[in-house]
Homo-oligomer: A and B are copies of this chain.
């Protein structure tokens, strides 16, 4: 049995979810993939804070302690770009594989991918876009044989929850945002989600996967801040809904990226994506349209995406493992 030692950077919502998920799934993973995954050290901000289910002997407040001590793979879940970027660069430089859920970092520092290639390590980032929707894997592998024409989706659960509340309960935006905050679907400062910036970061990652060598010739980002209940009512009269749609589309000379609120007909596959869910439609020249919908965020769905990346990196040939 191959032992794999994981260094975990960050023990917030997703980090704690990962520790919990791994303890549930460890035996199955051993059995199914022949690898014994263990977390050898966990970076936290406050070393004194008690954490349920976390072995306090693993906890440290020094990132170097996690990255530099012998391990096979580093999972980065602290977020932000500055420290997270420095830590990931250090880990890659030391020959560690890296798995991250950090969309802001990947959107702004694509050179991390070539750095990983240069050092012969892998960089997993399924969890950085749309939580439990395996959209990274599907774009990289599932569409390898086809030319993608467009990727179009609802990639921000906060905005979708807010729009669903406005639509179903007749609320105006500020009240719908307050409800989203109360339910844990929106941050105290919701500007990053509501303004479309989060969607734009995810779209940038998706576009790079779908159109690897094409430059972005047009980028437009708008949020849902200006959407009024009256507009949603007017859309309903035309049998339509309003959704925040992120789209990357092949155009002459490159790719056009746009994020903004759109009126879409009820028959559009994305119109059925409700509440805090995410949905992505990938259109391939040969494959036609593929729709994926599911939980785009949350502690356990995101942790499951991280763990799938970890297994994908350390467990050689997974195809046969699952069926042989």
Q: Are A208 and B323 in contact (CB under 8 A)?
A: yes
Which residues of B sit under 8 angstroms from A104, Cβ to Cβ? none
**Interface SS of A by simple majority:** helix
A289 and B300 contact, CB distance less than 8 A:
no
- Which residue of the partner chain, among B133, B269, B317, contacts A122 with CB atoms under 8 Å? B317
Q: How many copies does the complex hold?
A: 2
Closest to A323 in B: B113
User: Within the assembled complex, what's the spacing in Å between the Cα atoms of A317 and B97?
Assistant: 13
Q: A25-B145, A140-B322, A319-B124 are in contact. Are A287 and B291 (CB under 8 A)?
A: no
Are A212 and B323 also in contact (CB < 8 A) when A295-B288, A301-B288 are?
Answer: yes
Interface string of A117-129 (1 = CB under 8 A from B): 1000011101000
Question: Which residues 97-153 in A have Cβ within 8 Å of B in the complex?
Answer: 110, 113-114, 116-117, 122-124, 126, 132-134, 137-147
Q: What is the bound-complex CA distance between A99 and B126, given in angstroms?
A: 26
Cross-chain contact A32 with B212 (CB below 8 angstroms): yes
- Which residue in B28, B132, B292 is a CB contact (below 8 Å) of A284? B132
Chain B nearest CB: distance from A300 CB in Å?
4
Query: Can you list 18 A-B pairs with a CB-CB distance of less than 8 A?
Result: A17-B286, A33-B144, A117-B320, A123-B320, A132-B287, A137-B137, A139-B322, A144-B307, A144-B311, A144-B318, A145-B307, A146-B308, A209-B323, A212-B322, A269-B272, A284-B304, A287-B294, A291-B294
A interface residues, tally (CB under 8 Å): 72
Complex interface: chain B residues within 8 A of A143 (CB): 304, 308
Name the CB-closest residue of B to A106.
B323
Chain B residues contacting A294 (CB-CB under 8 Å) are 287-291
Q: Are A141 and B312 in contact (CB under 8 A)?
A: yes
In A258-317, the 8 Å CB interface with B consists of 269, 272, 284-295, 298, 300-301, 303-312, 315, 317
- With the chains together, A290 CA to B213 CA distance in Å? 30
